[in-house]
Amino acid sequence: MQQTRLDESDLSPPKNFTLPTVVFIVGVRPNFMKVAPILKEIARRQLNWNVFLIHTGQHFSKEMSELIFDQLHMPAPDLHLRITAKDPALQ
């Protein structure tokens, strides 16, 4: 069986297909609060995993989003989708 290889144009391909790959997709504060301790534990154990953090960008305020990352000591997302409403009431 031939192993599939991703082209460089593909978005954030796994570094190594033989390693476990975990993708966290977060958008609002409760998601961040659940994922933060898992990311910390993966780092503490120095697990050799492909870990990707995707931020949907649902927070209306950029400052709010950055504040959450700072408060929870989370790494910057690997991908930021920037999905936002023009009006906070629409979220």
Q: What is the mean pLDDT of each run of 10 residues along the chain (91 residues)?
A: 43 65 91 94 92 84 79 90 67 52
Locate the DSSP E strands across 1-91.
21-26, 50-55, 79-80
pLDDT of amino acid 26: 92
On whether the CB atoms of residues 53 and 78 are closer than 8 A, the answer is: yes
Residues found in the chain? 91
Is the overall model pTM greater than 0.85, yes or no? no
pLDDT of amino acid 18: 76
pLDDT of amino acid 8: 46
